[in-house]
A and B are shown apart, each in its own frame.
Chain A
Amino acid sequence: MSQQGYVATPPYSQSQPGIGLSAPHYGHYGDPSHTGSPPGMMKPAGPLGAAAPGGMLPQGHPPPGPHQFGQNGAHAQGPPLQRFPGPPPVNSAAPSYAPYSPSTRSSYPSPVSTSSVAQLGTQLSAMHVNSYGSGMAPPSQGPPGPPSSTAAFQGPPRSPQPSILQPGSQVLPPPPTALNGPGASPLPPSTHRQDGLPGPAPSNAQYQPPPLPGQTLGPGYPLQQAANYGPQMAGAQLSYPGGFPGGPAQMAGPPQPQKKLDPDSIPSPIQVIENDRATRGGQVYTTNTRGQIPPLVTTDCTIQDQGNASPRYIRCTTYCFPCTSDMAKQAQIPLAAIIKPFATIPSNETPLYLVNHGETGPVRCNRCKAYMCPFMQFIEGGRRYQCGFCSCVNDVPPFYFQHLDHIGRRLDHYEKPELSLGSYEYVATLDYCRKNKPPNPPAFIFMIDVSYSNIKNGLVKLICEELKTVLEKLPKEGQEETSSLRVGFITYNKVLHFFNVKSTLARPQMMVVTDVSEVFVPLLDGFLVSYQESQSVIHNLLDQIPEMFADSNENETVFAPVIRAGMEALKAADCPGKLFIFHSSLPTAEAPGKLKNRDDKKLINTDKEKILFQPQTNVYDPLAKDCVAHGCCVTLFLFPSQYVDVASLGLVPQLTGGTLYKYNNFQVHLDSQQFLNDLRNDIEKKIGFDAIMRVRTSTGFRATDFFGGIYMNNTTDVEMAAIDCDKAVTVEFKHDDKLSEDSGALIQCAVLYTTVSGQRRLRIHNLGLNCSSQLADLYKSCETDALINFFAKSAFKAVLHQPLKVIREILVNQTAHMLACYRKNCASPSAASQLILPDSMKVLPVYMNCLLKNCVLLSRPEISTDERAYQRQLVMTMGVADSQLFFYPQLRPIHTLDVKSTTLPAAIRCSETRLSEEGIFLLANGLNMFLWLGVSSPPELIQGIFNVPSFAHVNTDMTLLPELGNPYSQTLRMMMGIIQQKWPYSMKLTIVKQREQPEMVFRQFLVEDKGLYGGSSYVDFLCCVHKEICQLLN
């Protein structure tokens, strides 16, 4: 199926999906044939370059693209390329994915071909066409025939909105966006959208009207809630009549009429985000009700804990679990929670209360060991309580006894955080400590690679200088005057240098350990010191390090021994801690963990590709295990100038709850700021050490799988050497039994950890979810952002063991399956060709497409293996907000900036068609930030921002904007500050000028467009999914 899925797409494809994005505009309807493409092309052209021409072609043959998608194979090709020249390759690549990829425009070939598809195809095609209109036309249609027709039309370029159409209508409440689908007849629905021309498809998906043109959808909304959107499907694209309305649909509704599948007519993530923000932003969200759906991660609001953990700590893929596993299987919606136990909470929300039960420790259920929480039911006048998780009835310990009031609640209900709050902390007793001894305060060890290149490029000096100031800000517990963290320093190349910085020494002492095969810690006293006490010695040391190695010619480095040394040091000091390793090269020196350059592009696209993501030697895994066992977290700052085997080097940081930072081709004068910000941030961030997390659930289901920066020695205890405020663990649940709607599904996540001051604590988060035997309830309660987080982590974990092709297929299949199930069981009857999406999953296709286009899942030799391994690793620990931004970047027009206001300009969809030559746009995905300058950017803005007279004078080498006194500069920089603020990684700023080579990089982040290295456009993907759904429904 899956494949097919993709395949299916093809049909759409036809539409030129390729165009994808761009297309939209144009094309909407236009069938393929026509050209919508052209337009599309055009744009592309710019960017993509070639495109244009191709574009045209495509139309012609729509097919090409298609292949991609699979099926079509046939066609595929052909034309493909058209668009971009470049793309072609893609196609090739595409195969696999096929679908996506195609170059953008290439539209998918009409490929369609496929039978199955066919039907859709048509429609889609239509849709497509529409949608894209443009160009591609119609591919869809099978390429051939049909499409064209339709497509043609529209051609018109975009008219924007159109598609939607009605959507507004759709608006509907209902959520669902329905895209029409394919099914629909080929023809599309087209839709309604009136606007759009054609009007075809009509909104509601249902319609589907006219195939052709219509694709678009008008949104049809048809459906009630759910989905309607979908209407058309025009290819997905369109289809969705409601197009974007969908989103809006609900709310906004406004759709306008649109025409065919106008890109605007398909559900817009921006719209969804804005709607949620409009309705829930700035309000107080109280967690008093079980199973309520929190605001989106992108919405700012104040959260008040009234018995369930704040969504900042736990988010779920759905807040209503199906009662039975059969239901769960039917829907195929993953049941998962993304837990960020140390999430930062804003200052206007109450910090966690600390509960101290003295020597007896926390009150726990005798049977399941759950901690006292709001889910415990007191009975028998308060003498006993029934555990909400396992139903065991326990005696209340005498010291804890309290009478009950008339509604059976303890009189002290509001006085005890553990009875009334979803999240709180317990003071842990000695029973919860290693060896029953209170832990020592943790330590930070800084380990600097002082091999030749690092000295030469000034990195060592930079680090040493920075440490002098950043150490002043070591994290400390609330009232502490100075941090109780201790610090230590190691430098290394192919041997290790430990430093004695005891406060009584006049100058630091260096101890060289050359026995890297069996590293040991050469000193005890004086290695880990209080920064305050040893400040002068430490400064002395940091001053000297760069000079000490100034003459070194040592190029070789070791790596595993460095980690082992740090771990042994912590072990010797009997404390947990964190290693900060600053490393830059492949560790080739003779030592355990020695690595070879094994970056073999030939493995790409084969079943062995997974090897590239696995560590090269079996040294690192046991090392990580040892680290975790001793509470040693490893954070790695990598400064590679070539292949360094991130997959191997990153393993220990990954498994120990550390962070991996990577700065390619680091240049001190350009990249210092980014690195230093990351370093400061990482040092200062809130962190817990030597943690064990246990997720308990009420009977009927249980946690079965965990993803994140964790190490599991058994199936239940999640061990983490450390966990900081940015790390999230995604937990998947499965049924063991039936759940009851009455008691719901309860989750208690307990994290036992050591604070920065060396106290042992338990952090408890409780969350109650609903259960329902109605699928509709389930779909209503889903959260797409969380779903994508789950899908991303499970896919990225699977990358280690399965061929990428299989993984991609599974993702597409599951997406289609979830939507098909909805369509079949929840949506009101509508034309088969209509794509109907549940409201809560309106943007699932676009996000899923983004995930599929991520370089980790793209098998392309052009992408550096290290970069893929790096991103894979990053995503594994991301929280919901991080993954949302990462997969769907924020793109904001800067030229519309209102210098008098502090609000950011509204984000726009990530598609090239949204850019304009006269504009300046800022794109951010959590790792990178791009400032894109249109060729006709207003000179006054250029002057204001860069202090140069014109576009041509702008120097794109800078990574920081100059600080200028004018309002543009100030506002823009402030804006960038705000955007940066919440993210764990400092984003590297790249200035991109339209039509210059570096723009290629930027384009990869326009995720609704066809990817540079493959990956289909949003529209194409929607078509593909639609087709897949139709197949499932049939």
Chain B
Amino acid sequence: MATYLEFIQQNEERDGVRFSWNVWPSSRLEATRMVVPLACILTPLKERPDLPPVQYEPVLCSRPTCKAILNPLCQVDYRAKLWACNFCFQRNQFPPAYAGISEVNQPAELMPQFSTVEYVIQRGAQSPLIFLYVVDTCLEEDDLQALKESLQMSLSLLPPDALVGLITFGRMVQVHELSCEGISKSYVFRGTKDLTAKQIQDMLGLTKPAVPVHPARPAQPQEHPSISSRFLQPIHKIDMNLTDLLGELQRDPWPVPQGKRPLRSTGVALSIAVGLLEGTFPNTGARIMLFIGGPPTQGPGMVVGDELKVPIRSWHDIEKDNARFMKKATKHYEMLANRAAANGHCVDIYACALDQTGLLEMKCCTNLTGGHMVMGDSFNTSLFKQTFQRIFSKDFNGNFRMAFGATLEVKTSRELKVAGAIGPCVSLNVKGPCVSENELGVGGTSQWKICGLDPTSTLGIYFEVVNQHNAPIPQGGRGAIQFVTHYQHSSTQQRIRVTTIARNWADAQSQLKHIEAAFDQEAAAVLMARLGVFRAESEEGPDVLRWLDRQLIRLCQKFGQYTKEDPASFRLSDSFSLYPQFMFHLRRSPFLQVFNNSPDESSYYRHHFARQDLTQSLIMIQPILYSYSFHGPPEPVLLDSSSILADRILLMDTFFQIVIYLGETIAQWQKAGYQDMPEYENFKHLLQAPLDDAQEILHARFPMPRYINTEHGGSQARFLLSKVNPSQTHNNLYAWGQETGAPILTDDVSLQVFMDHLKKLAVSSAC
């Protein structure tokens, strides 16, 4: 098994891919019986410091319906200078530039270690990056101040030739013209009027003869000041101007009567931002960064009225069909998201407010375009400030960790078809021979658009084995999949990253053990979770849970070893052993449970769950718990109430929160001030250790997690208590009679109970 773990890890490092099954069942029927679909977690732009891009263009298969890219799996006839496509078996001539190849002189893309290759396309105009800030001014003074500072700071992080634009909004929407000298000029729109793209462009004066988008031209704007340039200017030219402008931003001046919310025209502002970019830089990488400090309260896209006495919709309201603005608003934002996606622009939402801000309605803007969604309490927190700063972090080459306007294309060998993708993408509706009729996630296409992605953006790609049972694949046959990601690199280059992978086929009847051993339960858990979350967006929560349960039971039935009707006999092999536990925590996670979460929070959690890579996803499903004590080095412990001990310090990472919890005794010691006494320096070190570890996590994570420092009995301890497996509750505490652990006041079932039921159902022949 170790070999499989290594294999999986190696593949992940090299290709950014993890499959649920690493040996593939060779027939459709068998594949469906595997319960967990054949699927993979793909991180298209996984950072590969060791992979220099090649400076030429890929060689394509000449069959028009295939166009697969030359890869190490292709058979090559060096003498005839021919290669056979491993997907369609077309024989192709090498282009003239490859005349010199031979067995010893192979181009990189033919070498096995280059299953992933990145090409740099030299053709075509390069566009500078575009950043359009859309800023809510209905903020508290210090919030606005903090936001202004963050924005000003961000200017210094942008590449000098990047184009920036600024839209501010409150009751009105202002599009700032950045080119004017001496006076700051802005175009103002009413926040209540739904404007079409055409109207917006007319009003901004963008509808003169199509402006050829040669953003690279800003070099000579003097002679031909393109109209679009009024609103989007190279940062190096207007740096000072924009800094001042941001500095002078005032809170929305319109008075807010008692008992009312400020009028916030988020819907129109976003609509104008989308319209502006659509009219000036279609199909060019651009980022719309929306900063909001509250819910949209007027105009199209309003989420709640301005009467404070009417609270913003809750899950309860939604269930009761009581959220009167939700459908309309969602429709508005979906329309915008689709337009932005069609033009290759991504939308980020930075929402900082104590109450909800309408992320539920707006989530599609980020989800469909690959934008970031950040949720915080205030712009004046390090959570926001550092998260925002991290957007502009750079890789080892000094390039931004962001890419734009990507197209992901999936090609499969004949035995496979692609069923769909789940992640920050939209379908490009490209039908083809490798598109399955069954959809899992966003399906019906072999290509997806990902307007904004970064090295950690991850998609779940689902496949369907279509090989018929009666057409067995010869022993040793391999299936292949090629992922082609065409994107605009942050250096403005157009690049293509190609990953080609192959896996063995196995006959599930005769070689089930092989298949079973090649099961990647972590990837499978994440892939199933994505499916579950995807369903949860459109289905009732309980239905999704039931579906998950059923899948789990079927999996256990299929792969468990047991004697019928004897739950005690139930065993799972190592490659499956953790899977039920993941499912247990997944069922309790905020991705599927809305209880105790606002609709915005659910949207926020789901947003991140659908784009993080496997490791992070697993943390989200099953938070990590470390224990610190005098008894030894820090160690990971069970996410269980029994791990909550008086003399321990716990560090929990749920991805969204980092919780440091001092056990009862530790807390008492700390109150007594032992850490300040020289003779108890070791105690001081003990207290410090989790803090240091937390800092490490905080530094690496995007978005920055909420950092919670609490102790036994502290109100914030709830973050920990709600996550741990409630093995001890007020119901069974005395029964257990142990002194370890802390009881959790909940009626939720514990993992033990869950497992008992699972075994019972798995072994039962009833289902």
Contacts and interface: CB of A to CB of B under 8 A. Distances in A.
Interface of A: 495, 497-498, 505-515, 518, 520, 522-526, 540-541, 544, 547-548
A548 B179 CA distance: 12
B188 A511 contact: yes
Given A506-B248, A511-B174, A548-B180, A526 B186 contact: no
A508 B188 contact: no
B183 A512 contact: no
A541 B183 contact: yes
Nearest to B245: A509
Contacts of A548: 180, 182-183
A524 B184 contact: no
B203 interface: yes
14 contacts: A506-B248, A509-B183, A509-B184, A510-B184, A511-B174, A514-B187, A518-B190, A520-B190, A522-B172, A523-B253, A524-B254, A524-B255, A525-B250, A544-B183
A538 to B, nearest CB: 12
Contacts of B13: none
Given A507-B183, A544-B183, A515 B253 contact: no
A515 B248 contact: no
Nearest to B250: A525
Interface in B516-554: none
Contacts of B253: 523-526
Interface string B185-199: 111111001000000
B231 to A, nearest CB: 11
The 7 closest A-B pairs by CB, nearest first: A522-B188, A514-B203, A525-B253, A510-B185, A512-B187, A524-B253, A511-B188
Contacts of A507: 182-184
A594 to B, nearest CB: 16
B244 interface: yes
Given A524-B253, A526-B253, A510 B186 contact: yes
A512 B172 contact: no
B189 A515 contact: yes
A450 to B, nearest CB: 13
A723 B250 CA distance: 37
Interface of B: 172, 174, 177, 180, 182-190, 193, 202-205, 244, 248, 250, 253-255
A513 B253 CA distance: 17
A515 B190 contact: yes
Given A495-B203, A506-B244, A525-B253, 18 more contacts: A498-B188, A509-B186, A509-B248, A510-B180, A510-B185, A512-B186, A512-B188, A513-B189, A514-B202, A514-B203, A515-B190, A522-B188, A523-B172, A524-B253, A524-B254, A526-B253, A547-B182, A548-B182
Contact of B185 (A509, A514, A515): A509
A540 B183 CA distance: 9
Contacts of A505: 248
Contacts of A515: 189-190, 193, 203
A770 B369 CA distance: 86
A512 B185 contact: yes
A540 B112 CA distance: 69
A497 B188 CA distance: 9
Contact of B204 (A498, A514, A523, A526): A514
A1021 to B, nearest CB: 59
A518 B187 contact: no
Nearest to A526: B253
B249 to A, nearest CB: 10
Contacts of B250: 525
Given A515-B189, A522-B172, A510 B183 contact: yes
Nearest to A510: B185
Contacts of B248: 505-506, 509
Contacts of B203: 495, 514-515
B421 to A, nearest CB: 41
Nearest to B174: A511
A540 B181 CA distance: 12
A760 B188 CA distance: 35
A547 B185 CA distance: 14
A371 to B, nearest CB: 37
Contacts of A497: 185
B260 to A, nearest CB: 16
A812 B172 CA distance: 59
A544 B185 CA distance: 12
Nearest to A498: B188
Contacts of B187: 511-514
Contacts of A518: 190, 193
A495 B174 CA distance: 15
A575 to B, nearest CB: 15
Given A514-B203, A515-B193, A544 B188 contact: no
Contacts of A544: 182-183
A524 B254 CA distance: 6
Contacts of B244: 506
Nearest to A520: B190
B276 to A, nearest CB: 13
Nearest to B247: A506
A146 B166 CA distance: 90
Contacts of B182: 507, 540, 544, 547-548
Contacts of A511: 174, 185-188
A525 B250 CA distance: 10
B183 A513 contact: no
Nearest to A547: B182
A508 B174 contact: no
A506 B182 CA distance: 10
> Quick one: which of B182, B193, B205 has the most chain A CB within 10 A?
B182
A513 B190 CA distance: 9
A541 B183 CA distance: 8
Nearest to A502: B250
Nearest to A548: B183
A513 to B, nearest CB: 5
A1030 to B, nearest CB: 69
A547 B180 CA distance: 11
A323 to B, nearest CB: 59
B632 to A, nearest CB: 62
Nearest to B204: A514
B188 A513 contact: yes
A464 to B, nearest CB: 13
Contacts of A498: 188
B444 to A, nearest CB: 40
Contacts of A513: 187-189
Nearest to B244: A506
A512 B248 CA distance: 18
A518 B250 CA distance: 25
A548 B182 CA distance: 9
Nearest to B175: A512
Contacts of B202: 514
B481 to A, nearest CB: 51
A541 B174 CA distance: 20
Contacts of A508: 183-184
A522 B186 CA distance: 10
Contacts of B255: 524
A865 B615 CA distance: 82
> Quick one: which of A507, A510, A524 has the most chain B CB within 10 A?
A510
Contacts of B177: 512
B226 to A, nearest CB: 15
A574 to B, nearest CB: 11
A116 to B, nearest CB: 68
A498 B188 CA distance: 9
A541 B205 CA distance: 23
Nearest to B225: A551
Contacts of A510: 180, 183-186
Nearest to A497: B185
B186 to A, nearest CB: 5
Nearest to B177: A512
A548 B177 CA distance: 13
A522 B191 CA distance: 10
B653 to A, nearest CB: 46
A558 to B, nearest CB: 13
